[in-house]
Amino acid sequence: MAFDLGFFTTLVGTTVFLAAPIVLACLGVQWSELSGVFIFGIEGEMLLGAVAGFLTALATHSLPLGIVAGIATGVGVGILSGFFEVTLGADQIIFAIALLVIGPSLSSYLYGAYVGGRELSTFSTSIPTFTSVPIPGLSSIPLIGPVFNQPILVYVVYILVILTHYFFYHTNMGLKVRSVGMNPLAADSMGTNVQLVRYSVLIIAGILAALGGMLMVMGGTGFWSDNVTAGRGLIAIALVRVGNWRTHLTFGASLVVGLLLASVADLQGIFSGGGAVTTTFPYEVFSTLPYLFAIAVIGISYKWTRSNQPASIGKPYQRG
């Protein structure tokens, strides 16, 4: 393996690409949690958005339509979450578990139901995937060029990160949302409609989760595999805590995870000699790295990054 500039450059590009869905999930978690609502079930939301987008793209041969369908699903799940968690005041952890069960199983079922009955020879099960769009000039910068040679959705992710940070920490509307997360009673008496704020952020989080799921499906091979999100949503939850609910640290941590994932893919290729079954080397260890990293990193950072934790998180707010 030649450790030349080319290798690193590719690594950079893959890192950013693999980190993007995690970043989207992190943004979704941030939006939801800063208003005080847990979203541990985000993995399920990602899968539902992914399957909706995938099947629509498959049926219509149109990627944009698929994205629209995925976003619509995200909105739907957001409204469902809002109804259960905000209007009814359901237990947010149990609701999350419900999503974690429904997400993989329902998406697997829908895929099987749609594809299962058809003749495989006349029917392709893959969809057109995202193509990379290089930004002229920037994409030829040595080493970090690939940062600017990504599918459009990844560029959108960059913009969303900046917008989210600006919104929450430099606008009054963002301040209002955070006040709901800190003390909904006080926020209510200061004129903020707590229920409306929470519904809105849950819908936005749903959209972000759906986009994250879609990016994983449509950015990859174009084929569906069950449980395609593989724990990205979980990792995002951990990373948001590490980042103390602020966007910059979380984004940085996501890039590290992206790097790990990119390395895993490379290392796995090296050590397994191409075939997944033939060597005795425990390359599965590499697959565990992102998860272990997530755990390690919340633990280490606990002492100094809880200052921004929304105090009311997990508790429903209801009028007496």
Partner 1 sequence: MEPGKKFSIWRRRFRETALSTVVVLVSVVVGALLVAFEGRSPVAAYGTIVSSTFGSTSNIAYTLSQSSPLILVAMGLVIAFRGSFWNGGGEGQMLLGGITGVIVTYSLHVNNTPLLLLVGFVAAFIVSGAWASISGILKVLFGIDDIVSSLLLSATAAFIVFYLVRVPFASPSTATAAVLASVNIPKAAQFPSVGGISGTFPLAIAGAVVLAWVLAKTKFGFRLKVLGSNRNTAVAYFGKGPTNRLFILISFLSGGFIGMGGMAMVSAFTGNIVAGASGGAYSAGGFTNSYGFIGIAVVFLAGLDPIASIAASIFFVTLVIGGLGLLVLMAVPTSLTISISGVAILFVSARVPIMDRLKALRRPK
Partner 2 sequence: MQESDLVLEGRDLSKRFADLTAVDGVSVAVRRGQITVLLGENGAGKSTYIKMLNGTLKPNSGTLYYEGQETKFGSARHAVKRKIHTIYQSFALIDLFTVKENMKLIFPDKTDDELRAMIQQYGKAVDLDERVALLPAGIKQRLEITKALGSDAKVLLMDEPTSVLAYEERDRLFKDLARLGKEKGLAILIATHKLQDVMDYCQQVAVLKGGKLVLQKPVRDTNLKELTVAMFGASEELEEAPTETKPVGETESVLEVRNLSVRGDNVPLAVKEASFSMHKGEILCIIAIAGNGQLELADAVYGLRKPLSGDVAPGPAILKTGRKLRVGRVAFASDDPVQTGLAVDLSVKDNFGVSLLDQTSKGRLVDWKALEDLSNKAIEKFEIKCYATDEFLRELSGGNIQKVLVARELSRDVDVLIAVHPARGLDMHTTYLVYRSIMEVARKGISVLLISEDVDEALYLSDRLGAMYEGRLSEIKPKGLWTRETLGSYMIGAHVMQEAKV
Q: Determine which residue in the list 19, 99, 194, 215 makes contact with partner 1, applying CB under 8 A.
A: 99
Selected range binding partner 2 among 31-39, 129-137, 148-156, 306-314, rule: CB under 8 A: 306-314
Query: Site size for partner 2, by CB under 8 A?
Result: 21
Selected range binding partner 2 among 16-24, 59-67, 104-112, 178-186, rule: CB under 8 A: 178-186
Is 298 in contact with 241 (CB distance < 8 Å)? yes
Q: Determine which residue in the list 225, 248, 270, 315 makes contact with partner 1, applying CB under 8 A.
A: 225
Taking the complex as a whole, how short is the minimal distance between the CB of residue 8 and partner 1, in angstroms?
27
Is 257 in contact with 293 (CB distance < 8 Å)? yes
Q: Determine which residue in the list 10, 124, 221, 227 makes contact with partner 1, applying CB under 8 A.
A: 227
Selected range binding partner 2 among 124-132, 146-154, 174-182, 268-276, rule: CB under 8 A: 174-182
Q: How far apart are CA 143 and CA 234, in angstroms?
A: 30
Locate all alpha helices (DSSP H) within the chain, ordered by sequence: 5-34, 42-60, 63-81, 92-116, 152-170, 172-182, 184-189, 194-218, 232-242, 247-271, 284-301
Taking the complex as a whole, how short is the minimal distance between the CB of residue 285 and partner 2, in angstroms?
41
Please name the residues in contact with 256: beta carbons below 8 A apart, sequence gap of 6 or more. 293
Residues 59 to 98: which contact partner 1 by CB under 8 A?
84, 88-98
- Taking alpha carbons only, the member of 102, 95, 45 closest to residue 70 is 45
Nearer CB in complex with partner 2: 75/249: 249
Residues 19 to 58: which contact partner 1 by CB under 8 A?
40, 43
Distances (CA, A) of 209 to 32, 82, 168, 253, 261: 11, 15, 18, 18, 19
Residue 311 contacts partner 2 per CB under 8 A: yes
- Taking alpha carbons only, the member of 306, 70, 304, 318 closest to residue 209 is 70
Taking the complex as a whole, how short is the minimal distance between the CB of residue 153 and partner 1, in angstroms?
24
Residue 235 contacts partner 1 per CB under 8 A: yes
Residue 188 contacts partner 2 per CB under 8 A: yes
Amino acid at position 187, single letter = A
DSSP SS3 for 220? coil
Taking the complex as a whole, how short is the minimal distance between the CB of residue 251 and partner 2, in angstroms?
23
Q: How far apart are CA 118 and CA 122, in angstroms?
A: 8
| DSSP annotation of 149 | E
Please give the span between the terminal C-alpha atoms of the chain, in angstroms, as a whole number. Answer: 67
Residue 131 contacts partner 1 per CB under 8 A: no
Taking the complex as a whole, how short is the minimal distance between the CB of residue 243 and partner 2, in angstroms?
17
Among partner 1, partner 2, none, partner that 291 touches (CB below 5 to 8 angstroms by kind): partner 1
Sign of CA dihedral 145, 240, 157, 284: positive
Among partner 1, partner 2, none, partner that 112 touches (CB below 5 to 8 angstroms by kind): partner 1
Tokens, residue 200: 């809105």
Tokens, residue 109: 């079922």
Interface residue list for partner 1 (CB under 8 A):
40, 43, 84, 88-106, 108-109, 112-113, 116, 225-227, 230-231, 234-235, 237-238, 241, 275-277, 280, 282, 284-285, 287-288, 291-292, 294-295, 298-299, 302, 306, 316
Positions in the binding site for partner 2 (CB under 8 A): 172, 175-176, 178-179, 182-183, 185-193, 307-308, 311, 319-320
